[in-house]
Amino acid sequence: MAINPISCSLDFDQDGVQHGHLKLPYSRDDSAWGAILIPITVIKNGDGPTALFTGGNHGDEYEGPVALLDMALNLEPSEISGRVILLPMMNYPAVRGGRRTSPIDGGNLNRLFPGKPDGTITQKIADYVTTTLLPLADVIADLHSGGKTLEFVPYAASHRLPQDPALEARCTAAMQAFNAPYSMIMLELDAVGMLDTEAEARGKIFVTTELGGGGSTTPQTVAVAKRGLRNILQHVGILPGKVAMKESFQLDMPDERCFVTSEHAGMLEFMVELGASVREGDIIARVYDLDRSGWRPVEYTAYRDGVVAGRHYPGLVQSGDTLAVIAVPQN
Ligand SMILES: [Zn+2]
């Protein structure tokens, strides 16, 4: 059985605030005995539940890292009962590169769970999170955004877990407590290898988000992330008090007809705004041929009534890109 080479400079059982690193050995041309240092903060006060909050699973999504760096600086041990583990830049090489995936091995961290202790750099990070951090946690929030190629209405999400309805109810309650402007029961196109799937398989309360996108942040989306994380801590009793709930727009993604996929490459003209209500058959976007003028664009329509919860962000589109996500309102 291979041993994961990552070591942690912190003591997970010590009260107080500790800032340090996960040290992942990475021998290479420009650093023979070098390592990748992944920042980690542990805040603990006595007994109580453990929350594991992660950002930078994809390196070009910034609400999570920004909110977690802020929490690392500002959450006081005296405020809490229990433990908060913050990993703001989980796929650190990808975050450094400003990319979704790792520039070292091309690894998409959120497709490589549970990871491999003797695998690639990205697989080693996944394995450490799976085998060392997940077992410590009672609740996990992994914060995502659209990154450079997608943009979403700000939502927290939980998954349908038909094999474990009790866990689904606990995850949905935590997702509602995050209390983003939108609350989504999310369908994953490709759930194999996701941290979500791994945490849920271990019976952990798991919440994810999609908060904005386009490869940057806004004050509004960062505020949603900061507030949502504190709400989760209140929900599980790590912070005192009841969550002050605001109205949240309930959405569902029941099946694949939520996704509008481009079958053409070209230049994109969106016909509807993010967050708009659409009817089945409404034109969502036009794709213009880049090679000639005087040609009609291809028109893409909604496959169902719903709300435009996500959209392709860059002005150019490739065949196979997700153009839009149409989610179904529940209230
Ligand atoms: Zn992501």
Give which of 66, 211, 193, 207 is closest to 122, Cα–Cα: 193
* pLDDT band with cut points at 50, 70 and 90 for residue 188: confident
Cα-to-centroid distance, 208 and ligand 1 (Å): 9
How confident is the model over 48-95, as pLDDT tens digits?
A: 999 999 999 999 999 999 999 999 999 999 999 999 999 999 999 999
Q: Is the pLDDT score of 189 beyond 80?
A: no
Cα-to-centroid distance, 110 and ligand 1 (Å): 8
> What pLDDT does 118 receive?
97
Cα-to-centroid distance, 181 and ligand 1 (Å): 19
Cα-to-centroid distance, 174 and ligand 1 (Å): 19
Q: Is the pLDDT score of 331 beyond 80?
A: no
How confident is the model over 122-169, as pLDDT tens digits?
A: 999 999 999 999 999 999 999 999 999 999 999 999 999 999 999 999
Cα-to-centroid distance, 125 and ligand 1 (Å): 16
Cα-to-centroid distance, 53 and ligand 1 (Å): 14
Rounded Cα distance between 140 and 145, Å, is 16
Cα-to-centroid distance, 251 and ligand 1 (Å): 19
Cα-to-centroid distance, 64 and ligand 1 (Å): 10
Cα-to-centroid distance, 46 and ligand 1 (Å): 33
Rounded Cα distance between 173 and 179, Å, is 10
- Using H for helix, E for strand and C for coil, what is the string for the chain? CCCCCCEECCCCCCCEEEEEEEEEECCECCECCCEEEEEEEEEEECCCCEEEEECCCCCCCCHHHHHHHHHHHHCCHHHCCEEEEEECCCCHHHHHHCCCCCCCCCCCHHHCCCCCCCCCHHHHHHHHHHHHHHHHCCEEEEEECCCCCEEECCEEEEECCCCCHHHHHHHHHHHHHHCCCEEEEECCCCCCCCHHHHHHHCCCEEEEEECCECCCCCHHHHHHHHHHHHHHHHHCCCCCCCCCCCCCEEEECCCHHHEEECCCCEEEEECCCCCCEECCCCEEEEEECCCCCCCCCEEEECCCCEEEEEEECCCEECCCCEEEEEEEECC
Cα-to-centroid distance, 37 and ligand 1 (Å): 21
Cα-to-centroid distance, 146 and ligand 1 (Å): 6
Cα-to-centroid distance, 209 and ligand 1 (Å): 9
> What pLDDT does 43 receive?
98
Cα-to-centroid distance, 32 and ligand 1 (Å): 32
How confident is the model over 235-244, as pLDDT tens digits?
A: 999 999 999 9
Cα-to-centroid distance, 97 and ligand 1 (Å): 15
Cα-to-centroid distance, 144 and ligand 1 (Å): 4
Cα-to-centroid distance, 56 and ligand 1 (Å): 8
Cα-to-centroid distance, 207 and ligand 1 (Å): 13
> Largest Cα–Cα distance of the chain, in whole Å?
70
